Amino acid sequence: MVFGYARVSSADQNLARQLRELEVFGCDKIYTEKQSGKDFSRSVYHKMRSKMRFGDVLVVHDLSRFGRNKKEILNEWKKIMDEEIDIVILNMPILDTRKYKELEGIGQLVSDLVLTLLSWMVEEERNRIRAAQREGIAIAKERGAFRGKPKQYHADAKGKDKVIYDRAVELLTEGTSVMDIHREVGLSRNTIYSIKREIEGKSSRNRVIVK
């Protein structure tokens, strides 16, 4: 049986192009997944692998659909090869293990060389994206444009969040320990420390200095 696997990293990305190519190839069964490729902890992928047997073929659009971790890509490739399942990477025709069945050793050599290079490139691209994201956040912070995740518990919060915030402020004012506040209201210690810094800051700004 010919299995097709299509994956994108997030729910707002489109699988249409991959699906079209897998259908044109003639896959008998196509599995789709919208999940990060940082590792192989993917439920749909594992479901597909559990159904694959000796002589089957796995088809993906490009190597990054496997994942973005060099070591894990290489390990997964080896496992599939050991089960005598063929792999076809559509945008890299040289990575079609069906071509080398009559060339003992040559197919494995070609696959090893190309796969090592490509998996390294995939991982480098992932690292490059991460570095760019970090740099972008750092620049935004310098410009005052990066605000991070909005606060949930603050003086202008509404409903239940406001009730919890007010209780945390009340307990802090009474001198209750952060751990005891955490146990009573359920806020994380980091959030409580943030509220504490906030009210201490307001207190210092409101303090009248007499000379």
Catalytic residues: 9
Distance CA 59, CA 87 (A): 6
Distances (CA, A) of 161 to 112, 149, 158, 165, 166: 55, 16, 6, 6, 9
Q: Are 29 and 38 contacting, i.e. CB atoms less than 8 angstroms apart?
A: no
- Give pairs for 159-168: CB < 8 Å, separation 24+: 165/195, 168/192, 168/195
Bridge partners (DSSP) of residue 86 are 57
Q: Are 122 and 89 contacting, i.e. CB atoms less than 8 angstroms apart?
A: no
> Phi/psi class of residue 84: alpha, beta or left (left: φ > 0; alpha: ψ in -120 to 50)?
left
